[in-house]
Structure 1
Amino acid sequence: MCLLIWWPLELTSADKNSNWCYGSPECDFKTWKGKCKTGSKQSPINLEKDSAVRDKSLTPIETEGYDVPGKITGVTKEENTVKVKLGEGIRIKGGGLGGQYEAKSIDFRWGGWPEDNFNAEDSTWLGSEHSIDGKKYPMEMQINHVKLPGAGSTTKDRAVLSFFIQKSMEKPKPDDLFPIYDCIDTLGDDTNCELDSKTTLTDFMIGANMKHYMRYEGSGTTPPCNENVIWTVYLVPLLIPASMIKNFTILKNEEFKEMKNVYRPIQPLNGRTVYLSAGSSIPTISGAALVVWVSILRLIINVN
């Protein structure tokens, strides 16, 4: 009973027949009302590394049930997203969260698809909601959690663990496929795609680096945009096959329109503090490459 009382509106299916949407002038983000329009702590935001405050309490978040099979109850295509439904007993704590939270669902955000060249790094198809120093990614995966009884009164009602998704141009091996790879092709309206009973939540996070993240207080990114969310945004993106990203962008809604650009634009920071996890060196692929090249140049200089 308590869990039902604490269940936030953004995590229910009530939005399926609501009057908000993406992409149509009569109901897109410019028309969203309430906190979406008047709030001062809205999400998503651009996360700036240089201005983030390092917080020693932001250690890796502890997970429970993430690696237990049988807790994923299905995958559905809703009006504005693809949702993975989760059963009971998947929880997180620590890492400065201030309490224990239980996972309820996974939502995906994505953009469009380049008509001419998939490698085109233009913003028209980069559909992550958050960005790092202005850089966006093709998709974003958000694991939604709700606060369990016993947490402090100042603890936010919701905790979202968010992962950027980058395209992998390599041909995936069968064991490396994203768990819902096959579901995306078969999802229809009001259908539930069942995954292999051995699938775990951890299978959605292959390659995740749980040590390096940024933290801030914000809101849900869909109406009613309640400002009751503590966001944990991981810095190292997950890699999934490029073909799967395309399959997301060609899904169709009940009106047979392609579900493209299903994300909310960046919102003002409005003076909020963004925190950086303890010991994080903010690793990036380009940063690692830079270190390699600097080492090579030093060897060349020493030889000469």
Structure 2
Amino acid sequence: MPNRLFKELFPSSPVTAPPHIHPSRATLKAEAIVKLLASKWSGGCRGRLRGQRGSQRFVLELRNSWDPTKNQIPWKRTGQQAENRSIDNSRNLPAHSLARSRSLFLPPFCFPLPPPACPSPLLPNSATLSPSRDTMLFALLLEVIWILAADGGQHWTYEGPHGQEHWPASYPECGNDAQSPIDIRTDSVTVAPELPILQPHGYEQPGTEPLDLHNNGHTVQLSLPPTLYLSGLPRKYVAAQLHLHWGRQGSPGGSEHQINSEAAAAELHVVHYDSDSYESLSEAAQRPQGLAVLGILIEAGDTENPAYEHILQHLHEIRHKDEKTSVPPFNVGGLFPPQLEHFFRYNGSLTTPPCYQSVLWTVFSRRAQISVEQLERLQTTLFSTEEEEPSELLAENFRIPQPLNQRGVLASFNPAGSLYSTGEMLSIAVGILVGCLCLLLALYFIARKIRKKRLGNRKSVVFTSARTTAEA
């Protein structure tokens, strides 16, 4: 339908409307349609269009008129989120940047509304659209809206003009005061040993269906079934997905969270949502403590981690953005650090746009370990671009630590006390005991040897003394 409409409206245009929207190509195609419409438009028009995408209802309203000589489109976007938060943004934007923001944009448009009638962008100024043409143009504009909505939020990066320092301009919550990640200062945490131990359920065998592994251009993401859930939190949180953050080969750091300003080589995030209160991840993501994310710091060592290999061995199948593959189910719990009882807890946000402040964070103090070779594969295999585009390595996909502000961080243990687990403490105690026994045995034999030597010297003195007396 969109292709037929597009060809009829623009028979000489080299651009074709997408038959099925591919999210990574959507913005460029929508932008091409918008530019074609804008280039054929003159005059003024007012109109309003209502719609809904997911939990968000929106109204798109054209106001005033467009001056093509300034290449600017006045527009107004109003709407209301599911949580009844109002959105009202008004601004002038260059036409070439229409597809560079998360918001939905329209060129000046015209479709059947009771008066006034609007001039057509396809016909002379004095003409108006026929009902059939009007309907087709309206359908095409709906397609443009759908394209931009489908690709909303994709145009952000970690560096450059759309990098993390610019996120708040397009995603206001990224500039709020409860953002993640943070630098956890162990001398400032509140020790709370009464925190329940976190208990993952179902992670050892997440069903029999394959898991989807996806390169979304920002990270590698593994889908998780809702049979995986956590206990030990205020409510039941079921798993949705996990993903990784890492650095660049040869450069230090890569994790998002830091402990005492020390970053790890990478970080795993396991995302869960409150299934007791919300129907889906997208709904929970906008609510306070709607999400619970486990943060697992990863370091590189000599030994290969077989659990992480279940993911890493498939990276070559999804080298480019928007490529997917299937991963046989495996023990997801093997991705966790060996000890789960030592962790930090705080309220924060998503670490990527839209940066909703809805996350109950649990960051484990113990680290998981992968081999150096596994880390290098993670750092050098994936691209943030599509196959037909110039290759751009997907690396350094981590956000820098954000201000803690007035938030508190709880610790389930005393970081200023023992730095070792119970097993390690027991091993150390046994080692010290064995060492002391060995030292005592060594001292015993040394003392015995010294005693024998002294006894020998005494006998020699007695024998010499008796011989001297006999001679006299």
1:17-166 correspondence to structure 2 within 5 Å: 18-23=154-159, 25-33=160-168, 34-69=171-206, 70=208, 73-94=211-232, 97-114=233-250, 124-150=251-277, 156-166=289-299
Q: Which amino acid aligns with 1:32?
A: W
Structure 1 residue matching 2:347: 3-state secondary structure: strand
2:258 maps to a residue whose letter is: S
* Matched pairs, number: 274
Letter in 2 for 1:83: Q
Aligned equivalent of 2:384:
253
Say whether residues 1:200 and 2:331 are aligned partners.
yes
CA distance in 1 between counterparts of 2:333 and 2:300 reads: 19
State the shift of 1:216 in Å: 0.4
TM-superposed CA distance for 1:168, in Å, is: 1.4
Decide which of 399, 409, 416 is 1:264's aligned counterpart: 399
CA contact (8 A) 2:288 2:359 kept: no
Note the C-alpha offset of 1:73.
1.5
Which amino acid in the other structure matches residue 343 of structure 2? Answer: Y
Q: Contact 1:113 / 1:249 at 8 angstroms: preserved in 2? A: yes
**2:25 paired residue number:** none
**1:229-278 Cα distance to aligned partner (Å, 9 max, x none):** 11000011101111111112112121411111100001001021100015
How far the C-alpha of 1:89 sits from its partner, in A, is 1.2
CA gap 1:234/1:79 in 2 versus in 1, 3 angstroms:
same
Rounded to whole Å, the distance in 2 between the matches of 1:15 and 1:143 is 24
Which residue pairs with 1:224 in the alignment? 354
Name the amino acid aligned to 2:268: M
Distance in 1 of aligned mates of 2:399 and 2:157: 10
What are the within-5 Å matches in structure 2 for residues 229-240 of structure 1? 229-240=359-370
The residue identity in structure 1 corresponding to 2:311 is I
1:185 matched to which residue of 2?
Answer: 316
Deviates more, 1:29-38 or 1:131-140: 29-38
Helix, strand or coil: the match of 1:243?
Answer: helix
CA deviations 1:108-129 (Å, max 9, x no partner) are: 0001111xxxxxxxxx431100
> Contact 2:153–2:354 at 8 Å: present in 1 too?
no
Which secondary structure state, in structure 1, belongs to the residue aligned with residue 309 of structure 2? coil
User: Given the two structures, how large is their TM-score scaled by the length of structure 2?
Assistant: 0.52
Could you say what secondary structure the match of 2:244 adopts?
strand
Partner of 1:212: 342
TM score, norm. by length of structure 1: 0.79
Assess, with a 3 A threshold, how the Cα gap between structure 1 residues 72 and 127 changes in structure 2: closer, same or farther: farther
Change in 2 beyond 3 A, CA 1:112/1:51: same
d(CA) in 1 for partners of 2:359 and 2:294?
10
CA 1:223–1:284 in structure 2 vs 1: closer, same or farther (change >3 Å)? farther
Superposed CA deviations along residues 171-228 of structure 1, whole A, max 9, x for unmatched, are x38x56632131123323333232234x1321322x4311110000001100111111
Of the structure 1 ranges 57-66 and 138-147, higher mean CA displacement relative to structure 2 is found in 57-66
Answer whether contact 1:47 1:132 (CA < 8 A) is retained.
yes
Asked whether 1:167 is paired with 2:305, we answer: no
The change in CA–CA distance for 1:166 and 1:16 in structure 2 (over 3 A counts) is: farther
Measured after TM superposition, the shift of residue 301 of structure 1 is 10
The equivalences for 1:290-301 within 5 A come to: none
CA offset at residue 5 of structure 1? 6.0
Bigger Cα displacement from structure 2, 141-150 vs 55-64: 55-64
> What is the rounded CA distance, in whole Å, between the counterparts of 1:295 and 1:77 in structure 2?
49
Contact 1:179 1:204 in 2 (8 A): no
Aligned partners of 1:53, 1:244: CA distance in 2, in Å?
35
Identity %: 22
Could you say if the C-alpha distance between residues 176 and 262 of structure 1 is closer, same or farther in structure 2, counting changes exceeding 3 Å? closer
Matched AA of 1:231? W
Confirm or deny: 8 A CA contact 2:254 2:263 kept in the other structure: yes
- Report the Cα distance in structure 2 between the residues aligned to 1:43 and 1:85, rounded to whole angstroms: 22
Structure 1 distance, partners of 2:377, 2:152, is: 21
Matched AA of 1:138: A
The Cα of 1:67 is off from its aligned counterpart by 1.5
Higher helix residue share: 2
Deviation, structure 1 residue 282: 5.8
